[in-house]
Amino acid sequence: MSPTSQPHRPATTYTLAGRTVNRMGYGAMQLAGPGVFGPPKDRAAALAVLRAAVASGVNHIDTSDFYGPHITNQLIREALHPYPDDLVIVTKVGARRGEDASWLPALEPEAIRQAVHDNLRNLGVEVLDVVNLRLMGDIHAPTEGSIEREVTALAELQRQGLVRHIGLSNVTSAQVAQARKIAPIVCVQNQYNLVQRGDDALVDELAEQGIAFVPFFPLGGFTPIQSAGLSKVAAGIGATAMQVALAWLLHRAPNVLLIPGTSSVGHLRENLKAGEIVLTDAVLAELDAIGGAMRGHAVA
């Protein structure tokens, strides 16, 4: 077998918050109504997706009390409480919702404390597994600036026993370094995918430090990844383009954990199959080239 056809089978698990989790997780954002606001159109279907995820081996769920607001956490509690012993629920604070469904920053220490208590109540737990501090900034890229006050507020809640572990979202490498001087950081959640690769260096830096990297918008978010080249690669290995885009992320680095979201059990199962895809050196090189071309087109 030539080096170009050598398959790479990525690890299926990684350590998050001191526990072993399957790298294919689930993001609960799409369980709320349109615009991540209000209740789902079909509550029973939303509950069924959560139960199907856990039954399929998912033991890492990403959520937030500002999804809905409150809706996704209440659905998670209804569907899964009492929670399986191996389930890690990661929530986030740092934003609130306006009555018009707008996304507003909520990074004052008192707002962070209130958000932690809201998450505790709606998830029905006495301590939160992991809380990500979500900086608002630009939705597509973090902005520099001190986060000492905000991380210190979360660290105080950790000392009080309300938060086990702290993570960060939408942050720069410098902000990660600043936060780690205040408290241990177990995960970073930034936008990253085959096309949007501004965090290449950060992914590798965190891998060396044993910190999980959790891409949000792994499939492009509001502008889903679409490419004839990507579709051709996918057809060649008997998968969908989105499955290949997810598989590429799993091959990218061992610390990458995926949380694709969906409100459909069928789509959930399709996403989870990405964890079974094995890509060769040749396919990985082709995907890197496709991603580079798509980035160049976006810039042009």
Summarised one tens digit per residue, pLDDT across range 147-162 is: 999 999 999 999 999 9
pTM for this predicted structure? 0.94
The Cα–Cα gap between 56 and 111 comes to 36
Q: Is 192 a catalytic residue?
A: no
pLDDT at 3: 44
CA–CA gap between residue 267 and residue 213 (Å, rounded): 23
Contact 135, 94 (CB under 8 A): yes
Q: At what angle do helices 265-272 and 241-252 cross, to 10 degrees?
A: 50
Indicate if the pLDDT at residue 298 is higher than 60: no
What's the chain's average pLDDT? 93
d(CA 2, CA 280): 10
**What mean pLDDT comes out for the span 220-227?**
68
pLDDT, tens digit (0-9, with 9 covering 90-100), for 20-54:
999 999 999 999 999 999 999 999 999 999 999 99
Q: How confident is the model at residue 131 (pLDDT cuts 50, 70, 90)?
A: very high
Domain coordinates in residue numbering, the chain: 14-299
The mean per-residue pLDDT over the stretch 250-267 comes to 96
14, 26, 67, 192: the active-site residue: 67
CA angle (50, 141, 267) in 5-degree steps: 25
**Superfamily for the 14-299 domain:** NADP-dependent oxidoreductase domain (3.20.20.100)
Residue range 133-186, pLDDT digits in tens? 999 876 667 889 999 999 999 999 999 999 999 999 999 999 999 999 999 999
